[in-house]
Structure 1
Amino acid sequence: MVSISFKRATLSDIDEYLDIEKSVADLKTYSPITTEEEAENEIKTNVVYFIKNEDLIIGSIAYELKSSEHAYFSGLVVRPEFQGQGIAKQAMKDLLAGELKDMKKIDLVTHPHNTPAVMLYLSLGFIIEGWKDNYFGDGEPRIVLALNR
């Protein structure tokens, strides 16, 4: 298993953040942030972390606090060359057991054909709560998953 750590993203990190998002931009199952304006908004309104292995940034994870008891995971990306090593699972587990441990509800959306992501979320105790057509305006559906504690 790869050892990971987190670094909070700031507005000065927009180029790095966009680079990570664009590393998976050609996938039909992920709707990436592709403009500086979108990246700036994400960093300003959400908690965005870079996922690091030693000094190398290998992904990002982001969430929005909806209330004192509800968080929404708005993004999780692991660069393709680092996928399949348990990095996304470790990042989720670290946040769920750490700064999100007191949240009563945590939800997210993912593409129904993104099987690795769906399996990851189910393995962490998330349940499928619904289906949203054309969720990001990209013509693709998303499933809503939630962890209720």
Structure 2
Amino acid sequence: AHELADTGAFDVIYGAGCHCAQPVENYNGTWIIYGLGNAVTVTSYILGNEVNNQGVTARVQFAGKKGVAGSWRVNRIDWVPTANVRQGQYQWCPISDDHPDGACWNETEDANQRQRIWNVIYSMGADQNVVREWNITAEQAGSSGK
């Protein structure tokens, strides 16, 4: 990712592959989302191996660079911590703090896994003013005029 960023050709690099949530980093002006984790692949739930049942859904917002016509920059990265288990079935499930679809495992386990993903996302110093946990419920309420 650093080699790609060093070319200067990218504003954001959006990675995938590892079955675990990975950090977000701003490296020399390029945002790198290292890995999205596991969305729906069936894996065993073995104590201590929870990372294989976690993921991240990310949305990247771009805005023009002030005073530079036709240019773009990453303005914001919203992310949702996710699980690939919903009440014992392998299915995508958001484990965000606002619980938009209810508990995935249970409230305690969801909170523990959400915190673990949060720690990983920010482990390489991502700016929390740019990289923010996505509150789906608040966004939906705002768009419907509630």
> TM-score band (shorter)?
0.3 to 0.5
Larger strand fraction of residues: 1
Please, what TM-score do these two structures have when normalized by structure 2? Answer: 0.35
Q: Which has the higher helix share?
A: 1
TM-score, reference length from structure 1: 0.35
